[in-house]
A and B are shown apart, each in its own frame.
Chain A
Amino acid sequence: MKNWIKILLTISSKDLIVELKSKETIVTITLFSLLVVSIFAVTSSNPSNLSAEIGAGIMWAAVVFSGSIAMSKLFSHEEKNETLNAILLMPVPIELIFFSKILSLFLFLTISECFIIAVFSILFNSNPLSIYILTAIPIFNLGFSCVGTFFGIISSKSRSNEILLTLLLVPIIIPLIMFATELTKAGLLGISSQNFNLWLSLGILFDIIFLVVLTFLFGKIIEQ
Chain B
Amino acid sequence: MLLSAKKINKSYQDNNVLQDVSLDIKSGDSICISGENGSGKSTLLKIFCGLLRPDIGTLSVLGRDPYKQPENLFIKQRMGVLMHSNMLYPQLTVKENLLFFSKLLGIIKYRSRVCEVTDELNISKFLNIEIYKLSNGNRRKASFAKSLLNDPEILITDEPEANIDNDTIEIFANIFTQRLKRSKANIFTSHNEKFSEKCSNRRMKLENGRLLEL
A interface residues with partner B (beta carbon < 8 Å): 3, 6-7, 10-11, 14, 17-18, 21-22, 81-83, 85-94, 223-224
Contacts and interface: CB of A to CB of B under 8 A. Distances in A.
B104 A223 contact: no
B88 A81 contact: yes
B92 A17 contact: yes
Contacts of B100: 10, 14
B212 interface: no
Nearest to B103: A10
B74 A91 contact: yes
B105 interface: yes
Contact of A7 (B50, B89, B104): B104
B214 interface: no
Given A18-B89, A83-B88, A10 B96 contact: no
28 contacts: A6-B103, A7-B104, A14-B92, A14-B100, A18-B89, A18-B91, A18-B92, A22-B91, A81-B87, A82-B83, A83-B88, A83-B89, A85-B83, A85-B85, A86-B146, A87-B104, A88-B50, A89-B76, A89-B79, A89-B81, A90-B76, A91-B76, A91-B104, A91-B106, A92-B104, A93-B70, A94-B69, A223-B53
B126 interface: no
A82 B85 contact: yes
B127 to A, nearest CB: 16
Interface string B54-79: 00000000000001011001101101
B194 to A, nearest CB: 28
B85 A81 contact: yes
Q: 8 closest Cβ contacts across the A-B interface?
A: A86-B87, A90-B104, A91-B76, A82-B85, A91-B77, A91-B73, A21-B91, A82-B87
B49 interface: yes
Given A85-B85, A86-B101, A89-B79, 10 more contacts: A10-B103, A10-B104, A18-B91, A81-B90, A82-B83, A85-B83, A86-B87, A89-B49, A93-B69, A224-B53
Given A14-B89, A14-B100, A83-B88, A88 B51 contact: yes
Given A90-B104, A91-B73, A92-B104, A85 B51 contact: yes
Contacts of A91: 73-74, 76-77, 104-106
A93 B73 contact: yes
Contacts of B104: 7, 10-11, 87, 90-92
Contacts of A3: 106
B137 to A, nearest CB: 18
B67 A83 contact: no
Nearest to A9: B103
A122 B49 CA distance: 54
A6 B88 CA distance: 21
Interface string B91-103: 1100010001101
A90 B77 CA distance: 7
A81 B87 CA distance: 6
Of listed A3, A7, A18, A94, residue having the most chain B CB within 10 A:
A18
Contacts of B77: 91
A87 B49 CA distance: 13
Contacts of A6: 103
B101 A85 contact: no
Contacts of A83: 87-89
Contacts of A17: 92, 96
B88 A86 contact: yes
A221 B83 CA distance: 22
Contact of A85 (B69, B73, B87, B92): B87
Interface in B36-52: 49-51
